[in-house]
Structure 1
Amino acid sequence: MTEAATAPGAPQHLRDRARWATTAAGRWSSRLPSTAWDSLLSALLLVNVVTTRPAQELPLPLALTAALTLPLLWRRRAPLTVFGTVAATAFAQWLLGIQLPADVALLVALYAVAAHAGHGRRRYDTLIAAAVVEAGVLLACLRWTTDGAFLTPFVAVTATTVAAAVLGVNVRTTRAYLAAVEDRAVRLEQERERQARLAVAEERTRIAREMHDIVTHNLSVMVALTDAAVYAQHRSPDRATTAMLRISETGRQALTDMRRSLGVLRTDEPDAARHPLPGIAQLAALADQMGAAGLPTRLAVHGPHAHVPATAQLTVYRLVQEALTNTLKHTPAGTHAKVLVRCTTGTVAVEVTDDGPRAPRPAAVPPSGHGIPGMRERAAAYGGTLAAGPLPGGGWGVRTRLLLDSGGAASA
C-alpha cells in the first residue's frame, strides 16, 4: 500500500498520507529503543527486589524502587523534574536506612540532566545535579561502609558519578554539533536555491532586454524603410527597390539576432546558428542602416577596442542602437545623429546626440517603457550611470561611461 501511495501517479492526498505515516513511524522507531530500555531497567530492578526480599518486607522496598525507576521514563522530556523526584526518593531511602540496587537510577537521572536539560542554565544545572549526587554518595558511604573502608567505595562511586555527567555532556555536545551541521546544510541548500532563482530571474531580464532592443530597433528601421519605399515607388522605383531590399535584410538580421539570443535556452540549437555578438566593430554597419532608414548618422571611435570584453562591447552596441532607435522614432525627417565612442584602458565612454527639435518626446521616457530603463540597467552593470535629456543648443543626448574593471566586467 505504501509503494502504491508513493508512486508518481498516485493522488496527492494519498501521497501526503503515506509521507505522514512514514514520518510518524520513523519518529516512533527512534523513540522506542530508549523507552524500552528504561522500562526494562525498571522491570529488572523491581524483579530484583521481589526475588531478594522476604515477602513481609516487600511493600516499602518495592515502593521505593518504583519511585526511583519509573520517573526515568520521562527523563528526556523533564530531566530536572525527574532528577528532583529521584533525588528526593533516594534521600528518603537513606533516612529509612534501606539499601537498594535501584540507586543506579540517580546516575541515570544525572546523565539525563547533563544530556537533555534546557538551553538556558544547563551548565549550572549539571553542576548542581552532580553536587547533589556527590552529597548522596558521601552520605551513603558514611552510613553503610564497614571496617573503615570509606575511601575506596567513595572514590569508585565518585568516579562513576563524574563519568555519568561527562558522558551526558558529550552526548549533548555531539547532538548540538550535528544539529548545527544539519542547520547549516539546510541554510546552504536554501541559499543555493535562492541563488538559482536569482540567476534565472537575471537571465530572464537579460533576454527580455535583448529582445526589446532587437525587436524595437529592427521594427523601427523596417517601418521607416517601408514608408520610404511607399513614397518612392512611383517617382523612383530604383530607390523603392533598394528600400525593400533593405527591409528584407533588416528582417533577416532581426531573425538572426533573435535566434542567437534565444539559442541559449535550447539544448538542440547548433553552434553554427550562433553568430558572434555584435560589438564596437559593428557600429559602422549600424550607422549605415540608420542612414538608410532616414537618420543620417556620423560615427567616431577613438582609441583601440580590442581589449574591451565581448559583453562590454555588446553593451556599447545596444546602448547606441537604442539611442538611435529613439531618435529615429521621435524626431522629424532631416534630423542628423552623431555617435562618439572613446575607448581607454579602463573605461569606454559613449555619447549619442542629435540635432532634432527640443520639443518633449512622449515616448522618450515613458512611464511604462523599457528603453531608457533598459539602457540604465546595461550601464549600471558596468558601474556606469546614464544621462539622457535635451541638449542646451537643441537636440537630444545620451551619455554614459562603462568601467571595465567593475563587477560587470569581471563577470564577463
Structure 2
Amino acid sequence: MDRRHAIYEWFRINHFKVDLTATCLLVLVFGPVYLLADRPLLFFISCGLLLPLAWRRTRPVVASGCVIAVCLIQWALAAEPVAGQIAVPLVIYATAAYGPAWASRTVLLAGLLGGIMLTTRLYSSTAESGIMGLTIGALYTVLIWMLVLVSWTLGDLTRVRRLQLQALEDRTRRLEIEQHQERQLAAADERSHIAREMHDIVAHSLSVIITQADGARYAAAAKPELATEALATIAATGRDSLGEMRRLLGVLRSDDDAPTRPQPRLSDLDELLLGFRAASLQIAFEQSGIPRRDLPAGAELTAYRIIQEALTNVMKHAGPKAVANVSLTWQGRGLQLDIDDDGRGAAADPPPAGGGNGLRGMGERISLYDGSLTAGPIQGGGFRVSAFIPYSEA
C-alpha cells in the first residue's frame, strides 16, 4: 500500500516528466506511419499536434495555442485529418482542468468553431450535395461538438475537484499552524504560571528563613531560647516550602500519586499572617465590608499571593522594625487590597537589572481577572501596594 501511494505521489508531482513520456510514445505510434507512406506533410502536422501535449498540464495555455495554430495551418493547407488529431480533445481537457478560466472558455469556443470549419471543408471537397450532403455534414459537426463538450466537461469537473482538494489541503495546513501556535501560547502561559508559583513559594520561604537565621545568629549569644524559636520557625518554613515544591513538581510530572492539596484562599490569611509575625514582622490587619458574592477560587488565590508577595517585599526591603498594614475592603464592585509599610521602601534596595519578578507576577495574576494594580513609594517613607479584583459577573 505504501509503494502504491509513493508511485501515485510521484505521478502527481512530476507532471512534466509523465506528460513528456506519454507524448513521446504517441509520436512513436502515430508519426512513423506517415513517413512509411511517403507523406511527410501529414507526419509534420501529426507531430506538431502531439508535441505540445508534453506541456499540457505545466503550461496549458501555450500547449493549447500551439495545437490551435497547427490546426489552422492544417485547415489552410486543406490537409486531411491525421492520427495526431487526438491531441485536440486531450488539450481541451487539460486546458479546462489546469488552465485559467478565460483559456478554458477560449478552447471550448475554438473547439466548437473548429468542428464547423472541419466539416465545412470536408463537405465542400466532396461530390455529395443536396439534402444528403447537408445531413452528413450536420451529423459530423454534432459528433465533433459532442467530443469537444465531453472533453471540456471532464476537464472542468477535474478543475473543481482539484480546487476542492487544494482548499482542503490549505485548510489542513492552516489548522496545523493554528494548533502549533495554540500549543506555543499554552506552553508560554503555563511557563508564566509555573514561574509565578515558584517565585511566590521560594521568595516568601527564603525571606522568612533569611530573616530568622539573621535573628538567630544575633540572639544565640544573649538569648539562646530566642535562637531556638528562630531555628524552629526556619525548620517549619523549610518543610512547608519543600512540601509546596513537591506538590508543584508532582503536578508538572502528571503523576497521579503526587500529593496535592487545595490552593490557599482568603480564609487562610490568618495562617499566612501568623507565619510573618513569627518572623518578627509587625502586621496590622483590617477587614471591612461584606462580600456581595464569592470570588472565584483563582481570584482568591490571586489576592492571597499579592498579600504574600507584598509582605515578603516588606521583610526584604523595609528594614528592621518596620510595621506593615494589610487592609481588605469589600466594595460593591469587588475586593480592594491595600498593603503598606512605614519602612525605607523599595528605593533603598533597587531591584537588579531584569528583576522585579514579584511585581510583574502580581500584575500578570490580577490581569487574568480584569483587575488593577498600583505599587510605589509613599511620600514621607514606606511603600504601598494597592490592588482591586472585581467580581466576575456571569
Tell me whether the two structures share a fold, i.e. TM-score over 0.5. Answer: yes
Alignment-derived partner of residue 72 in structure 1:
53
Q: Distance in 1 between matches of 2:232 and 2:82?
A: 108
1:86–1:105 Cα contact (<8 Å) kept: yes
Query: Does 1:293 pair with 2:279?
Result: yes
3-state SS of paired residue (1:342): strand
**Aligned with 1:320 (options 307, 312, 318):** 307
1:275 aligns with 2:274: no
Alignment pair present for 1:100 and 2:85 = no
Amino acid at match of 1:137: G
Name the counterpart of 1:27: 10
SS in 2 for 1:148: helix
Match of residue 140 from structure 1: 118
1:360 aligns with 2:325: no
Identity of aligned residues (%): 34
Looking at structure 1, the residues matched to 247 and 298 of structure 2 have their Cα atoms a distance apart, in angstroms, of: 14
Q: Which amino acid aligns with 1:65?
A: S
Q: Which residue of 1 aligns with 2:356?
A: 369
Cα distance in 1 for partners of 2:389, 2:377 equals: 22
Quick check: 1:330–1:364 contact (8 Å CA) kept in 2? no
Contact 2:11 2:18 in 1 (8 A): no
> Does the 8 A contact of 1:363 with 1:369 survive in 2?
no
Residue by residue, what CA displacement relative to the aligned partner does 1:224-262 show, whole Å, maximum 9, x if unpaired? 112222333344333322222111111111111111222
TM-superposed CA distance for 1:320, in Å, is 0.7
Quick one: which of 93, 101, 109 aligns to 1:131?
109
* Equivalences for residues 205-216 of structure 1 within 5 A: 205-216=192-203
**Structure 1 contact 364–372 (Cα < 8 Å) conserved:** no
1:165 to 129, 152, 161: 152
C-alpha separation in 2, matches of 1:305 and 1:289: 29
CA offset at residue 285 of structure 1? 1.0
Q: Name the stretch that deviates more: 176-185 or 293-302.
A: 293-302
Deviation at residue 393 of structure 1 after TM alignment? 5.9
Aligned positions of 1:248-267 closer than 5 A: 248-267=235-254
Could you say if the C-alpha distance between residues 369 and 153 of structure 1 is closer, same or farther in structure 2, counting changes exceeding 3 Å? same
TM-score in terms of structure 2 length = 0.86
Residues 218 and 358 from structure 1, CA distance in 2 versus in 1: closer, same or farther, beyond 3 angstroms?
Answer: closer
Aligned residues of 2:292 and 2:332 also touching (Cα < 8 A): no
Of residues 147, 159, 165, the one that matches 1:178 is: 165
Deviation at residue 69 of structure 1 after TM alignment: 1.2
Partner Cα distance (1:185, 1:141) in 2: 50
What is the alpha-carbon distance in structure 1 between the residues aligned to residue 151 and residue 334 of structure 2? 69
1:333 is aligned to 2:320: yes
**Which range is displaced more, 302-311 or 391-400?**
302-311
Instruction: Give the C-alpha shift of residue 203 in structure 1.
Output: 1.3
Query: Is the contact made by 1:294 and 1:333 (CA closer than 8 Å) also made in structure 2?
Result: no
In structure 1, how many angstroms separate the alpha carbons of the residues matched to 2:172 and 2:324? 57
Does structure 2 retain, via aligned residues, the 8 Å contact 1:346–1:405? no
Evaluate the alpha carbon distance shift between residue 262 and residue 305 of structure 1 in structure 2; reply closer, same or farther with a 3 A threshold.
farther
Aligned equivalent of 2:37: 55
Shift of 1:24: 10
Report how far residue 91 of structure 1 moved.
1.6
Question: d(CA) in 2 for partners of 1:385 and 1:194?
Answer: 28
SS at match of 2:115: helix
- Of 380, 385, 389, 1:402 maps to 389
Q: Cα offset for 1:151?
A: 2.3
Letter in 1 for 2:386: R
Q: CA deviation at 1:359?
A: 7.9
RMSD: 2.9
Between the aligned partners of 2:70 and 2:147, the Cα distance in structure 1 is 20
Match of 1:114 in 2: 96
Q: Give TM-score, length-normalised by structure 1.
A: 0.82
| CA-CA distance at 1:397 after TM superposition | 0.9
Task: Please tell me whether residue 46 in structure 1 is matched to residue 31 in structure 2.
Answer: yes
* Separation (CA, whole Å) in 1 of partners of 2:172 and 2:346: 59
Give 1:292's aligned amino acid.
A
Report the alpha carbon displacement of residue 29 of structure 1 after superposing the two structures with TM.
7.4
> In structure 2, how many angstroms separate the alpha carbons of the residues matched to 1:372 and 1:385?
12
What is the number of equivalent residue pairs in this alignment?
A: 377
